[in-house]
C-alpha cells in the first residue's frame, strides 16, 4: 500500500510542478491558486465527486464533461480547465486532491512559507492552536501558513502535516496499531 501512495504522490508532484510552471509562465499564478483553493474545498466536501473519479469505469470523456460542469459551478479559469482536462485525459482524476495539495505546497515553498495542516477530531480552541503554531514557528524559523481541519473520524489527538512530513498522533492511528498488534500482523 505504501508503494502505491508513493507512486501517486510522485505523479501528483509532477503534475503540480508542471501546472505551477505553466501558471507562472502565463502570469496566472494568482488565478490558478484561487481556483485550486476552490477545488480543494470542493473535493474535501464532496464524497460523491471522490467516488465518481475513483470509479475506473468512468471514462475520460465523462471526466471531461464533469470538469466542464465543475468549471461552470466553481467559476474556474480557462487555464485551470485546460489543466484539469490534461489530468482527465491521462486518467488521473482520482489523484486530483493530491495534485491540488502538491500545487499548494509548491506555491508555499516558492514564497518561503511553510504549509502546516493540523487535523483534529474537534475544532481547536484558539489558545491551543496558537501554542501549536508558536511551537512550530520556533523550530522552522519561517513564515507559516496554518490550516486547521476537523475530522471526527480520528476520534481524538491530532494529525500534523508540515510540508511533506506527517506526524499522526490520532487516537484512530493508535487504535489501528493496537489492533494490528493484537492480531499479530
Structure confidence by residue, pLDDT tens digits, 145-165: 888 988 999 999 999 988 778
- In this predicted structure, what is the pLDDT of residue 2? 45
Q: What is the DSSP pairing of strand 114-120 with strand 144-150?
A: parallel
Q: Where in the chain is the domain with CATH 1.10.520.20?
A: 2-108
pLDDT at 169 over 60: yes
Top CATH class of 112-183 equals alpha beta
The mean pLDDT value for 13-20 works out to 94
pLDDT at 3 over 60: no
Structure confidence by residue, pLDDT tens digits, 62-105: 888 999 999 999 999 999 999 999 998 888 888 999 999 899 98
Structure confidence by residue, pLDDT tens digits, 30-73: 999 999 999 988 988 888 888 888 887 888 788 889 999 999 99
Q: Where in the chain is the domain with CATH 3.30.360?
A: 112-183
Whole-prediction pTM = 0.72
Q: How far apart are CA 75 and CA 38, in angstroms?
A: 9
Question: Which numeric CATH code is attached to 2-108?
Answer: 1.10.520.20
Q: How far apart are CA 152 and CA 149, in angstroms?
A: 10
Q: What is the DSSP pairing of strand 114-120 with strand 158-162?
A: antiparallel
- In this predicted structure, what is the pLDDT of residue 5? 53
Amino acid at each position: 500500500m505504501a508503494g502505491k501512495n508513493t507512486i501517486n504522490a510522485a505523479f501528483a508532484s509532477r503534475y503540480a510542478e508542471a501546472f505551477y510552471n505553466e501558471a507562472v509562465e502565463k502570469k496566472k499564478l494568482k488565478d490558478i491558486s484561487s481556483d485550486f483553493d476552490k477545488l480543494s474545498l470542493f473535493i474535501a466536501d464532496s464524497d460523491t465527486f471522490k467516488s465518481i473519479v475513483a470509479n475506473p469505469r468512468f471514462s475520460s470523456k465523462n471526466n471531461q464533461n464533469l470538469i466542464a460542469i465543475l468549471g461552470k459551478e466553481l467559476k474556474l479559469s480557462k487555464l485551470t480547465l485546460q489543466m484539469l482536462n490534461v489530468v482527465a485525459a491521462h486518467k488521473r482524476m482520482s489523484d486530483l486532491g493530491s495534485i491540488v495539495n502538491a500545487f499548494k505546497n509548491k506555491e508555499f515553498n516558492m514564497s518561503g512559507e511553510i504549509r502546516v495542516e493540523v487535523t483534529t477530531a474537534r475544532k481547536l480552541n484558539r489558545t491551543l492552536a496558537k501554542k501549536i503554531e508558536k511551537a512550530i514557528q520556533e523550530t522552522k524559523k519561517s513564515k507559516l501558513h496554518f490550516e486547521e481541519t476537523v475530522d471526527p473520524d480520528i476520534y481524538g489527538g491530532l494529525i500534523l502535516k508540515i510540508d511533506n512530513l506527517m506526524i499522526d498522533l490520532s487516537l484512530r492511528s493508535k487504535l489501528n496499531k493496537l489492533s494490528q498488534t493484537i492480531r499479530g500482523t
